[in-house]
Chain A
Amino acid sequence: MKLEIVSANRLTDGRVVYLSHGGRWSEKIVDGRTARNDKESAALLTEAEASVAKCLVIDPYLLTISDETGAFTAMRLRERIRQFGPKVNQTLDQSV
């Protein structure tokens, strides 16, 4: 089933944040509010845009996650790197 959350970068320090409850933004993906269908996704994005107007975040967008392992994990590699940070001391064979 489709599972999406909204992420953005925080204006003041550029850090990765996820749209959480009550229009707040959290650095932890677990705090992210999820959308399960297009309507919910659109609503999340609209809410995120309000934070852009308030100069809280930059360029919010939707990303697909999975919760199969019990924790939220982004599907795309780029998003996993944003989620976990650069694994600069890890070799290629260990995937993020």
Chain B
Amino acid sequence: MPLIKNGAITDDPWQFPAEDGPMPETGSVAVSLTQWQREKAVLLARSTPLGLLLTGNDSLDNIVPNITAYDLIAFVFPTFQDGRPYSMARLLRERYGYTGELRATGDVSRDQFLFMYRCGFDAFAVSAGNVIEDWLRAVSEISIWYQPTNDPRSALTTLRHKLHALE
């Protein structure tokens, strides 16, 4: 499954051990919240990067206390219609200061990229196809945003403000 990060196809260094499978000895691992809670001590004793694989059902209350421990937080979209991770992503980025990789996986298509990107997602596991071109096109289709979020693009109010300052 191709991974898009920073506008390029990237190798995915992360391993996602099965819920009841063995934990890889080395390398980066991302686990579910249940696995995390069960094996927290073991996981924290590793010297390699740790990550979480979450769904919209998980509560951020269980994630925030250890937020600095994670280098990856991946949200599974069982269907594109599940809009919860958009709010969770913004909260992680804007309220809890999470700076690691925020990945969207599951039912992710180019027509959602832009929404996700603006909510703070910066990595996308996509199914296949001519993905990079699609991605580059999708993120440039719309350049005007009415809502301020914390993505680097200026929201319209800022643009208008700048324009009026010039006048």
Q: Do chains A and B touch in the complex (CB under 8 A)?
A: no
Interface residues of B (CB under 8 A from A): none
